[in-house]
Structure 1
Amino acid sequence: MNPGIIPVIPVRVAELVPEGQTMPVYIHLIDHPDARVLVDTGFTSLHPAIEDMEPRLFPLAEQDFDIQGVDIVVNTHLHFDHCGGNHLFTGRPIYVQRKELEDARSQANYTIPDWVDPPGVHYVPVDGELELLPGLRLVPAPGHTPGSQIVVIEESQGLTVIAGDTAVWHAQLDNPGTEGQKLVRSLNPEKVWLSHAEEPWTPRAGAGG
């Protein structure tokens, strides 16, 4: 049974300016009836490895955001701008695909290792699809990284997807190329939230996204 409407709240936590083009960084809070689920955590500090992207931070601690009220964290993948705030959620389970966690820990120049494994962080490795809560499931979506995953929310009016970087721009869902992008489109979602876009992609707005 679909659980009705489950609010998704985008929170802008940073901006990156690669090659002079401003790219917002959003995380997404799912206000599920059974738990508050945070999808990705952005990043909370600067690092020499990302100086060329001219990062600007909007710390969660300075926003109207209840860090302690988050029950579960999901990482779509473990690039620095998606896991750099994981340290804020020690004691909470952080769900990530096992393949993604292994790659982030073993491959050079994949991410910022200290941000993946800060003290007290507890990962729950996921193998494939997982129903996390009623009407909320994790689904592998390879493409941006081999271990990327999306969050699929089943609501009374249709599906909402939180896709991380499965697509960076709306145009990549208009004309899907990767396995993950094709998967998202095959689900026929009503809206798709992306980490670097202010508004969600929708089938109606997609052609102009």
Structure 2
Amino acid sequence: MKMYLLDYGYTNVDKGIVLTLGQDIGKVVPTPIWGALLDTGKEYVLIDTGMNPIHIKDPNATFIGTDLHGKIVPVMNERNTALECVKACGVSPNSIKYVINTHLHFDHCGGNLFFPNARFVVQKHHYNWATSPKSNCPKRDFLLEGTKWLFVDGDVEFLPKISLILTPGHVPYHQSILIDLGEKKVIIAGDAVSLRESMSDNAPITADNPVDFYASIRKLQSLSRKYQAQLLLSHDQEQWSSLIHAPKQFQ
């Protein structure tokens, strides 16, 4: 199993509103947006697809007219689209068999449109929530004509060496991914853990359900210890800067 970490750009966010509720309000920080390409030897699997390319010309496309306007500002160029990131690894977008979305927020599924041949893998109940009036997920990013969905329910071994882990809290029925790369194991947390500082007890967080959020962190920490797996956080700039990015293979 080979893995490549894809750089989808970043967002400048108001930390105290978007990440650490009530703490550091007004402090603007960059948060990396990224995904992963897996080469299983039999098929290609993509984990998350970053932001919709409309943000290249209009960073405010998603949040204008909302309470988050100016609080989350995407920064990306053509090289940061999921399309170009996959091609930079020498892989045709048409060769992607599965796209696993940790969840359906704009910065995790905005590039779904580039993979018409793929099957899109999400938790069934997360999809039900995301398509309901209760959610803040931009429907333009994932309710695409002809999308082939593959719904899962809870913790499952999706493919050999790729397991999906239910980690609600950030949003209902969020999922993380445990991957066996052979020489090492990793857990792609998604937004179940955005920042390293979120992992401390009673850390300030912004979450749909704080009780579930903390429980999911403990679940991932337990799995990390059990499998000696490296936990990869979704929006931690310090960790992201320390990792090997595509087109080089993750080690």
- TM beyond 0.5: yes
Measured after TM superposition, the shift of residue 175 of structure 1 is 4.5
- Distance in structure 2 (CA, Å) of the matches to 1:97 and 1:152: 15
Q: In structure 1, how many angstroms separate the alpha carbons of the residues matched to 2:164 and 2:62?
A: 33
- Deviation of 1:153 (Å): 1.4
Deviation at 1:174, TM superposition (A): 5.0
Residue type of the alignment partner of 2:63: A
- The two structures, once aligned, show a CA RMSD in angstroms of 2.3
Is residue 71 of structure 1 aligned with residue 77 of structure 2? no
Counterpart of 2:229 (choices 187, 190, 197) is: 190
Q: Is the 8 A contact 2:48 2:101 kept in 1?
A: yes
Farther-moved stretch of structure 1 (102-111 vs 159-168): 102-111
Per the TM alignment, residue 56 of structure 1 is displaced from its structure 2 partner at its CA by 1.3
> What is the match of residue 7 of structure 2?
12
1:87-129 CA-to-partner distances (Å, cap 9, x unmatched) read 1112211110011101110034521011120222221111112
Seen in structure 2, the aligned counterparts of structure 1 residues 60 and 78 have a Cα distance that, compared at 3 Å, is closer
How many residues are treated as equivalent by the alignment? 196
* Aligned-partner residue type, residue 138 of structure 2: I
AA partner of residue 24 (structure 1): P
Q: Which protein, 1 or 2, shows the higher relative CO under an 8 Å CA cutoff with sep ≥ 6?
A: 2
Match of 2:167 in 1: 141
Structure 1: which 5+ runs fail to align? 1-5, 201-209
Q: What pairs up with 1:82-101 in 2 under 5 angstroms?
A: 82-101=108-127
Aligned equivalents of 1:115 and 1:31: distance in 2? 25
User: Structure 1 residues 151, 48: CA separation in 2 closer, same or farther (over 3 Å shift)?
Assistant: closer
TM-score, normalised to structure 2, is 0.71
- Report percent identity of matched pairs: 27
Matched, 1:104 2:130: yes
Displacement after TM superposition at 1:61 (Å):
3.8
* Structure 2: distance between partners of 1:81 and 1:182: 24
Q: Which amino acid aligns with 2:12?
A: V
Gap runs ≥5 in structure 2: 15-27, 56-60, 203-212, 241-251
Per-residue CA distance 1:19-73 (angstroms, 9 max, x = gap): 2211110011122223211111111223242652221122234441432332211
TM-score (norm 1): 0.84
- Give yes or no for the alignment of 1:23 onto 2:31: yes
Hey, what does 1:43 align to over in structure 2? Answer: 51
Show structure 1 runs of 4+ deviating over 6 A: none
1:14 partner letter: G
